[in-house]
Structure 1
Amino acid sequence: MGPTRAQFIQYAPAALAVVSLTAGPWSALAAGAAGAGAWVIKTSAPALRSLIACGITATGCGIAAHQVLSSGMNPLFALGLAVPAGAAALAHHRNIAGELLPALPATTTATAGAGQSSQAQVITAYWMEFISGPTQTEGRKLIQAGAVLAHLGLDVGDEHMSFTGIITLPQGQQVRVTPTNIASVYGIPVSQVEMGDPKHYAPNALPVTVHLRKAPEQPQIAPGVPTTAEELWAAHVAIPDGAMPGTTLTLTRYDGPHDWEGIATRNRKAIGTVNLQDLAGNLNLSSIQIALAPTDKPSQMGVRVMKEHALMHGTMLSGVVDELAMDSRGYVRLGTYIDANAALVPLAQPGSGARHLYLVGGSRSGKSGVLEQILLSAHKSRIAAILASPQTATIAGAGLAAFCGDGLDEAMGALRLAYAMLLDRESRYRSPAFPFTDPLLLIVIDEAHMLLAASSPHHAEAKAIVEQLTRRSLKRGIGVILATQTPLAEDLGNSSIIRSQLLIGGGAVFLRCARGQGSLVGVNAVEGAEGLDLSMIPPQWPGQYAKVANRDMSGLDTTAVAKPEDGTFGLGYLLTPGSQAVQFRSLYLDVPPASLAGDLEPVAVEDCEAWRHREAITRTPMVDQRGKNLIGSLADLLAKAQQAPPSATEQGQPAGPQQAQAGPAGPAGPAGPAGGDGRELLKPRILELLRNGSSPMTAETIARKLGTSVRHIRPRLSELKGRDEVINENTLWRAAA
């Protein structure tokens, strides 16, 4: 077989050199060197053609120059023959010197179409060499033979280069070239190859766009999109349906889009209360990143946006111990506001009595720490305290109280004593304008929902007592500190009186609540705290989760002291009457509050009839079996207390069935049905109640009406249901027909 076309092109200069051996050794040497160079470097097809033309020209000029010199003619004629050879060499240099596509390899053996620019020639050569053919390289497999690139178009700029075309095949064939194939040929990412969808084009003709070099993308700001804090405020907050319509923002400090302060102003109109959740939504932030600060002018409101919370590191209790005692205005320090000022709450109102406080906070929110701090402040201010703690041993500072009811029944006894103290002071001070000489008294009720909720066995009595305390106690020098886990109305026994009197009589502290239970909207709305969702307060500061997750447990220091930034304990909102709820954080208990009390004894309650008979009073129920008719005078209370038999523990023997039946609640008291006879006596009473009732009742309602515990009622209802004497429909019981 003869040589291939590629071999002929590679060896042509060498062949010319052999032919010209008889004519001129210099031209033969030049042609041989050209052929050898083409063989070694495997030059591209355009460059090889140029080299062949240059070799032929140089060979011809060499032969002619040799003949001139051998014939004895003037050497200047031979020198003139070098001009065509030099011109051919310069033309060859121009053809191969330009690197038109830096991103593409420098070698190809395909033949470019005539009439194309240098960029188009290289693009076409690559397409023919690797995709469509015909190929001039042995052993190379084409991607799809015959898939030519037609209608080639270029788009070349200073920072970009792309080409378009149509991949064309004969009729009846289908394009199989993929973007991945094209990207591999031109050495670019697949994302820079765009091909037409075969569903919208003929299968044998698909358009293609290839971005050989993309210009760097410049950040673009769309026209009209707000960028500064003032523009964001005007675009989202000040609009009619925004959180603060009609206001304008004036920045007083700016350290970035998430760290600034300013004043929101409404032209000659009061801003009113602001829904914090709506404001956080308008600014695309979390509610914990925003703090509001009311000013002296109703048309202005201070706004602060925080990238790192200002209260993360807390204020140590031991560092401000001198501020815990009540000042001349009746205020004590409870914590620190977001603007670093002291957060003060009133425990008394000099000249007119005491103050209330409503405290809301779920588990691990810092609620118990606030109560311990209040007990310490009362102790240092020489204010007596009666503590009702239904959940046993939850308040570390219980020893600072003059009387502590620890446990559910004991806490109910503490409430009875507090009501007796109110009746005693009312009997001794008939006129509101009295020369008040008795010490101030705080009634601290922790986990109040355990006493006030409808499921509590003491629901009716506790609700009646707390309603009267919050209504009548302030001018008698008795304040109520009531703490629950959620702001839901159910936690206060569905009593609107208790909540309204607490808020009017002092204020509120709102800490973190469980998910879905902290929204202050609807029936749970509180004026001045509209839109707050206490469940949105995170349990830890932003970024703390990652620190815990990345901690090496093998090297955990178990003796390390917890830091304020380890959790958001005590973070919440403080609301005083007539103002907006302001973000604050209670003092961080770096030392036990009781250790700061010193050697002072707990402040004692004044010596009075109610206090002297406190043991009997704590065991004496103050409502009838229906939960109504609360005892209204101290004389009636003392008379009933004297009739109550002593408890089994005072008699030095365990309570038996007969003693239990004769307890304070009478024959139908909570302990009455404990014996076998008592169980049977309950069934006819339950049947009589359900048959005479006009509507079905819950087990709790039945227990309350019969003056007993629900744990005694449920088994009897089950037994009656087994005998088909009662019917249960969605926890509502009624007598069978």
Structure 2
Amino acid sequence: MGPTRAQFIQYAPAALAVAAAAAGPWSALAAGAAGAGAWAIHASAPVLRSLIACGITATGCGIAAHQVLASGMNPLFALGLAVPAGAAALAHHRNTAEQFPALPATTATAGSGLSSQAQLIMAWWTEFICGPTKTEGRKLIQPGAELAQLAFDIGDDHMSFTGIITLPQGQQVRVKAADIAAVYGIPVSQVEMGDPKHFAPNALPVLVHLKKAAAAPQIAVGAPTTPEELWAAHVAIPEGAMPGTTLALTRYNGPLDWEGVATRDRRAIGTVNIQDLAGNLDLSTIQIALAPTDKPSQMGVRVMKEHALMHGTMLSSVADELAMDARGYVRLGTYIDANAALVPLAQPGSGARHLYLVGGSRSGKSGVLEQVLLSAHKSRIAVILASPQAGTIAGAGLAAYCGDGLDEAMGALRLAYALMLDREARYRSPSFPFTDPLIAFVIDEAHMLLVVSSPYHAEAKAIVEQLTRRSLKRGIGVVLATQTPLAEDLGNSSVIRSQLLIGGGAVFLRCAKGQGSLVGANAVQGAEGIDLSMIPDSWPGQAQKVAVRDMTGLDTTAAAKPEDGTFGLGYLLTPGSQAVQFRSLHLDVPPASLAGDPTPVAVEDCEAWRHRDAIAQTPVVDKRGKNMIGSLADLLAAAQQGPPATEQQRAATSPPGPAGPAAPTDGQELIKPRILELLREQSIPMTAETIARKLGTSAKNIKPRLTELKKRDEITNENGLWKAA
């Protein structure tokens, strides 16, 4: 077996020195041959410099010795010249003792024994880490920490080895990643050590990347790229809109017209800021549509050069399609994928459905309500309309009862409540289909009645809460429209919105900036992370067209086109699904002209309907807004007495004289509806004392009224336990 590369580099100068003393000038040729050999085996620069210096010294000594012998001088002088040559060889040996040859790039050889890589790696490991070292005075990192089970992974652009640092039983591995990196001359980041908590203290696995594959080059800014590359470079990075995701295209028609699915490995994507995503992709927000999937780790993405709903869908050509189908759904618009957007107005066999509508000024909210009125008319559903802001609904003529204005709208709320009480009295155990028509109770600008500053706040809140809770199975659905999704617009009532969303669908249109967020306290299940203020009021480029438009010769009689604005563009949420971007149908003519027969669908002939005018003027709660009239009989009695007089009116009309018996308080007058409501809501019978405790009064006040309600057959008593009939 011949000498190794390290041995050749170390001992070639010694042979060179001997040759210099014997061969004289021929030693120059030997020095050149040794240098060429060292270069051929890829010796390091310090080794080459040391070898060249040693060769020059040895050559000079050889020439001088040759001249001494040729001149006939004493041979001892020539022998003395060998001392500098030997000193040069010893200095070279010491220099190379501190240098280590580079790892060869050849692959590991098969068969028994260690390959050249394994020999060199083990030599370094022994020399610096575990010992025994051949260098006198060297301090080892941890004596005895041997490297076992050595394995390689070698490719054209990478090279690594793995092993297990082992120690005798009872000892603990103290070798650190920084120690290994220093030994092999690599960055600490290329050394991966196992977690000591998961392995034995005396056996710790290690992975060392001697040569790591170069990282993928960054995409040049401004260079043409595929959507996947653009996504990886700007969206999936830690500071991007959807960090850690990958994009898989499902359709590609160009860099500005594609669809795909973003996926994050085993983690939920969560809320996506669409403005950040538009900035990452260098697009406007209107060009991007997100579609959540059933998997929280995936999100559908669509990029549009021109928005798919920009030109809208005209209503006049599909008026006959607006009638309710057999499942109770009506068409409200068109989804982003061109499919019909349907919402339920009824549930055959179970009653009606609610609809929650949110949209600011010029968002298309009134247009959606007009479509609802037209669909209800086509479906033979009676409509009661409450419009606090007078004259805003073009299809008001299709309603059987219209409360136009703040006071009249409050009257419509009272009438809807009375109709519910009437049907509850007539349909104790309702069996569908109803012989009476379904009723859609539409409340436009509901915040004008429900906000705390409204004069009808307490009464309107109490009525709407009861309607959303109890009216569906009596065939009365609530269509409630507000300008924002904020809780303040619903009178700070969590009951109203939760019941609306549980009992039907929701339509979300553009809102004012800062008022359209559906997160936090305004979060809606299925519409997480949506901010309605991000829906722009115009399509891309429309503002610039207006800015540079030449007004001369402009046709001022031309009708507005759907692409002139984004009204009707928003999100539709149906029960059990995710909110999907859609656009409502475009009205080019008033809905009354599309109705065919404009005669409103009539409400059934019943006590509440016959006394509708008196009921509309009768408050159904007391001054505190806590006690509601709970039966139709009590409501009709209160309506016959007329609206309550004010304090000034009572003072002006009451004759002077001794005071008569004190009139009962509001709490005593309206305690029977509270008893009836409590027994209807509770499914278990209760004693009079339990009822009194729940209502915050004494049993002495409760028992006489329980007797009165029993005479009306509204409640029953079995062994002292009271329950609703």
TM-score by length of 2: 0.57
Aligned to 2:572: 574
Q: Distance in 2 between matches of 1:674 and 1:500?
A: 46
Q: Distance in 1 between matches of 2:334 and 2:441?
A: 25
Aligned to 2:333: 335
Aligned to 1:632: 630
**Contact 1:226-1:232 at 8 Å conserved across structures:** no
**Contact 2:348-2:433 at 8 Å conserved across structures:** no
Aligned to 1:527: 525
Structure 1 alignment gaps of length 5 or more: 1-219, 645-663, 676-737
Aligned to 1:602: 600
Match runs of 1:57-456 below 5 Å:
221-222=219-220, 227-235=225-233, 237-238=235-236, 247-265=245-263, 276-277=274-275, 279-280=277-278, 282-294=280-292, 300-431=298-429, 433=431, 436-456=434-454
Q: Distance in 2 between matches of 1:611 and 1:497?
A: 27
Aligned to 1:484: 482
Residues 239, 528 of structure 1: alpha-carbon distance in 2 compared, 3 angstrom cutoff = farther
Q: Distance in 1 between matches of 2:250 and 2:333?
A: 25
Select 2:556's aligned residue among 546, 555, 558. 558
Q: Distance in 2 between matches of 1:408 and 1:318?
A: 32
Residues 439, 268 of structure 1: alpha-carbon distance in 2 compared, 3 angstrom cutoff = farther
| One-letter code aligned to 2:537 | P
| One-letter code aligned to 2:441 | I
The question of 1:667 aligning with 2:646 is answered yes
**Contact 2:359-2:482 at 8 Å conserved across structures:** yes
Query: Residue by residue, what CA displacement relative to the aligned partner does 1:119-148 show, whole Å, maximum 9, x if unpaired?
Result: xxxxxxxxxxxxxxxxxxxxxxxxxxxxxx
TM-score by length of 1: 0.56
Query: Residue by residue, what CA displacement relative to the aligned partner does 1:536-569 show, whole Å, maximum 9, x if unpaired?
Result: 2221111111221222223121111211111111
| One-letter code aligned to 1:622 | V
1:331, CA displacement in angstroms?
0.7
Q: Distance in 2 between matches of 1:390 and 1:252?
A: 48
1:396, CA displacement in angstroms?
0.7
Q: Distance in 2 between matches of 1:472 and 1:255?
A: 51
| One-letter code aligned to 1:396 | A
Q: Which moved more, 1:550-559 or 1:589-598?
A: 550-559
1:616, CA displacement in angstroms?
0.6
* Aligned positions, number: 436
1:430, CA displacement in angstroms?
1.3
Q: Distance in 2 between matches of 1:295 and 1:611?
A: 47
Residues 224, 325 of structure 1: alpha-carbon distance in 2 compared, 3 angstrom cutoff = closer
1:333, CA displacement in angstroms?
0.6
1:300, CA displacement in angstroms?
4.7
Q: Distance in 1 between matches of 2:489 and 2:593?
A: 33
1:293, CA displacement in angstroms?
3.2
Q: Distance in 1 between matches of 2:525 and 2:278?
A: 19
**Contact 2:398-2:598 at 8 Å conserved across structures:** no
Q: Distance in 1 between matches of 2:595 and 2:240?
A: 49
Q: Distance in 2 between matches of 1:625 and 1:391?
A: 25
Query: Residue by residue, what CA displacement relative to the aligned partner does 1:390-449 show, whole Å, maximum 9, x if unpaired?
Result: 011110100000100000000000000000011111111112555532211100000101
Match runs of 1:42-61 below 5 Å:
none
| One-letter code aligned to 1:591 | V
Select 1:472's aligned residue among 470, 474, 481. 470
1:294, CA displacement in angstroms?
4.6
Aligned to 2:461: 463
**Contact 2:286-2:539 at 8 Å conserved across structures:** no
Give SS of 2:342's match: strand
Residues 285, 495 of structure 1: alpha-carbon distance in 2 compared, 3 angstrom cutoff = farther
1:339, CA displacement in angstroms?
0.9
Q: Distance in 2 between matches of 1:387 and 1:355?
A: 16
Give SS of 1:507's match: strand
Residues 553, 277 of structure 1: alpha-carbon distance in 2 compared, 3 angstrom cutoff = closer
* Greater Rg by CA: 1
Give SS of 2:383's match: strand
CA RMSD of aligned residues (A): 2.7
Residues 295, 521 of structure 1: alpha-carbon distance in 2 compared, 3 angstrom cutoff = closer
Residues 537, 316 of structure 1: alpha-carbon distance in 2 compared, 3 angstrom cutoff = same
**Contact 1:273-1:580 at 8 Å conserved across structures:** no
Give SS of 2:622's match: coil
1:464, CA displacement in angstroms?
0.4
1:385, CA displacement in angstroms?
0.5
User: How many percent identity over aligned positions?
Assistant: 85
Q: Distance in 2 between matches of 1:405 and 1:351?
A: 30
**Contact 1:390-1:410 at 8 Å conserved across structures:** yes
Q: Distance in 1 between matches of 2:226 and 2:384?
A: 54
Q: Distance in 2 between matches of 1:278 and 1:526?
A: 22
Query: Residue by residue, what CA displacement relative to the aligned partner does 1:442-480 show, whole Å, maximum 9, x if unpaired?
Result: 000001011001111101100000011111111111111
| One-letter code aligned to 1:488 | L
Q: Distance in 2 between matches of 1:431 and 1:287?
A: 51
The question of 1:495 aligning with 2:474 is answered no
**Contact 2:386-2:443 at 8 Å conserved across structures:** yes
